[in-house]
Structure 1
Amino acid sequence: MKRFIAVLILFIPGALAVYGIKLMRDMLFAILQPPFTAFWLQFLCGLIFCLGGIGFVAGFVLHRDRKRNKVQDRFKNPRRTSL
Structure 2
Amino acid sequence: MKAVIQRFVAMLLLVIPGLMATYGFLAMKDAWFAQFEVSGGSGSILWWKLLLGIVLFGLGVAFIGGWIFFRDRKRNYVAPRFRQKRKKRQTPE
| TM-score, normalised with respect to structure 2 | 0.71
Q: 2:56 matched to 1:52?
A: no
**Using the alignment, how far apart are the partners of 1:44 and 1:78 within structure 2?**
37
Aligned residues: 75
Find the partner of 1:69 among 76, 79, 91: 76
**Using the alignment, how far apart are the partners of 2:9 and 2:57 within structure 1?**
22
Tell me the equivalent position of 2:25.
Answer: 21
Larger radius of gyration: 2
Tell me the equivalent position of 1:34.
Answer: none
Judged with a 3 Å threshold, the aligned counterparts in structure 2 of structure 1 residues 80 and 24 are, in CA distance, closer, same or farther, namely: farther
Write the letter of the residue equivalent to 1:72. Answer: A
Tell me the equivalent position of 1:39.
Answer: 46
| TM-score, normalised with respect to structure 1 | 0.78
In structure 2, runs of 5+ residues without a counterpart are 36-44, 89-93
Find the partner of 2:15 among 5, 8, 11: 11
Instruction: Give the RMSD, CA atoms, in angstroms.
Output: 1.9
The structure with higher relative contact order (CA 8 Å, sep 6+) is 1
In structure 1, runs of 5+ residues without a counterpart are 32-37
Calculate percent identity across the aligned residue pairs: 41
